[in-house]
Structure 1
Amino acid sequence: MAVVVVTAAVLGLLVGSFLNVVIHRVPRGESVVRPPSRCPDCGQEIRARHNVPVVGWLVLRGRCAGCGTRISVRYPLVELGTAVLFTLLALRFGPPDLPAFLYFGAIGIALALIDLDCRRLPNAIVLPSYPVLAVLLTASAGYRGDWWSLARAGIGGAALFAFYLALALAYPAGMGFGDVRLAGILGGVLGYVSWAALLIGAFGGFLLGAVAGVVVLAAGKGGRKTALPFGPFMIAAALVALFAAGPLGQAYQRLTGLT
């Protein structure tokens, strides 16, 4: 188990470095493969020794080696955050489930930050994630012989997609179709875990969004009509559900006397 956790942490650093490229280039319609990583200001290619996750940023003291332009602290934070998330996922889900949840965690980070930056959930990330996660979850269910979890994932994905679609059609100004497409992925992943995870993740996004709206109002940073990207709240609630669905469900049962 320790080997799996350490491997996941190291993989998280590497994947986090790649996610920085994805977050910067995908909204611009650029390739994430070519050209190699470069400074967005002067265009100088980043040397291999400066491209080491977190360490490279520290060595450069947060500035480009070529032009001295400040490099956002978000780059190492994304790398560290991905490593931490991968570590937690490795502690929560062992093989054979882990690959699917690591993939979900990676796209979740990318989509949340892109939505915050651009108010978009790019199809280039969302749509391919359907077949990728379908294959990974099917392989996991097949290995464990747990086909009910896979069926639950299909039901959850279809149900959450339909629910968000109905909201988008009823109130187009408040719900984008990018959120609808993302909902299908979240429903599938959460449904695979449990019904409790699906319910908590489905409605937790609305709760987090409401809390954020109150904070924005209280801080005087916006009004009642201020639009906040909803994708990050959906993803945050899904991640909370992955880890907390069991304890929250047990707590609810104790409070209601159902145990």
Structure 2
Amino acid sequence: MPAPALVISLVLVGLFGFAVGSLVNVVVTRVPAGVVAPAFPVRFRLVELSTAVVFVGVTAWVLLTDVASGGPATDLAVSDWAAASLVLVAFLYLAAVSIALVLIDIDVHRLPNAIVMPSYPVGLALLGGAAALRGDGAAVARMLIGGGVLYLFYVMLRLIQPRGMGGGDVKLAGVLGMYLGWVGWVPLIVGALSAFVIGGLVSVVLMAAGRAHRRTTIAFGPFMLVGSWAGLTVGPVIAQWYLGLSSS
């Protein structure tokens, strides 16, 4: 893809992201059943702008790295664009879902099934379809293993400490495990661990600031989502940095 075409594509995706941000606002205010959310005009505008920025960032990440189809999309043959397009739609969908779930979990400490559960068939269809077009059976295997392993890990955590892990976290773990596993083993490991590292750091800061104590309930979904996106986008970089520290 020539540079001017790429720039135009990113601008169009940004405008599309702004429109999706308006839909996200509707989802955040209406999906949590029984919750009457007041109007926050400033927050609405911030959500729309943030969604636009995130969509541009995700699009650039997918098109300019090898996550789309084995090489930067600027080097792809026309026949590979179908797979790359499915990958892009899959991650834009995850981005929109992530923004909605972060806001809802912060507001009401819930990760609604109406948002989480459809993410399974959508992710399987889009990423599985892309892998099929690429003839990449290994990506499908990683996706299924990643989703299953992360789901079972969170089930175990919930059994050990029911008050510390919600059912919505368990269901979300399977979705995130699918996406992380599809990209690679290193992103899966880094993304899974980053949720606990980020959550622990934020909890320490809140307690030090007197904003929380040991029994305070803190929404864990946002940490899972932020950690997963860290694993997806910079997982190998984080892994190399950590291995460098451990070997020094």
TM-score by length of 2: 0.84
Task: State the Cα distance separating 1:203 from its structure 2 match.
Answer: 1.0
1:166 and 2:135 are equivalent in the alignment: no
- Match in the other structure for 2:27: 22
1:4 and 2:4 are equivalent in the alignment: no
How far apart are the structure 2 equivalents of 1:28 and 1:244?
A: 36
TM-score by length of 1: 0.80
Q: Which amino acid aligns with 1:103?
A: Y
* Cα RMSD, aligned residues only: 1.9
1:76 and 2:45 are equivalent in the alignment: yes
Gap change, CA 1:187 and 1:239, over 3 Å in 2:
same
- Match in the other structure for 2:75: none
Task: State the Cα distance separating 1:255 from its structure 2 match.
Answer: 4.6
Question: 1:114 is matched with which residue: 104, 111, 115?
Answer: 104
Question: 2:229 is matched with which residue: 222, 233, 239?
Answer: 239
Task: State the Cα distance separating 1:177 from its structure 2 match.
Answer: 0.9
How far apart are the structure 2 equivalents of 1:208 and 1:15?
A: 27
Gap change, CA 1:29 and 1:223, over 3 Å in 2:
closer
How far apart are the structure 1 equivalents of 2:112 and 2:196?
A: 21
How far apart are the structure 1 equivalents of 2:61 and 2:242?
A: 21
Matches within 5 A, 1:161-240: 161-240=151-230
- Match in the other structure for 2:68: none
Task: State the Cα distance separating 1:150 from its structure 2 match.
Answer: 1.6
Q: Which amino acid aligns with 2:51?
A: T
Matches within 5 A, 1:27-176: 27-28=32-33, 71-94=40-63, 95-96=84-85, 97-176=87-166
Unaligned runs of 5+ in 2: 1-5, 64-83
Task: State the Cα distance separating 1:7 from its structure 2 match.
Answer: 2.4
Task: State the Cα distance separating 1:29 from its structure 2 match.
Answer: 6.4
How far apart are the structure 2 equivalents of 1:4 and 1:109?
A: 22
Task: State the Cα distance separating 1:212 from its structure 2 match.
Answer: 1.2
Task: State the Cα distance separating 1:256 from its structure 2 match.
Answer: 5.5
Give secondary structure in 2 for the equivalent of 1:28: coil
Identity of matched residues, % = 45
Task: State the Cα distance separating 1:243 from its structure 2 match.
Answer: 1.3
**How many residues are matched?**
221
How far does the alpha carbon of each residue in 1:175-198 deviate from its partner, in whole angstroms, 9 at most, with x for none? 111100000000000111111111
Task: State the Cα distance separating 1:229 from its structure 2 match.
Answer: 0.5
How far does the alpha carbon of each residue in 1:53-90 deviate from its partner, in whole angstroms, 9 at most, with x for none? xxxxxxxxxxxxxxxxx743111111111111111111
Q: 4+ residue runs of structure 1 moved beyond 6 angstroms?
A: none
Task: State the Cα distance separating 1:18 from its structure 2 match.
Answer: 0.4
The structure with the largest helix share of the pair is: 2
More displaced 10-residue stretch of structure 1: 3-12 or 205-214: 3-12
Unaligned runs of 5+ in 1: 31-39, 42-69
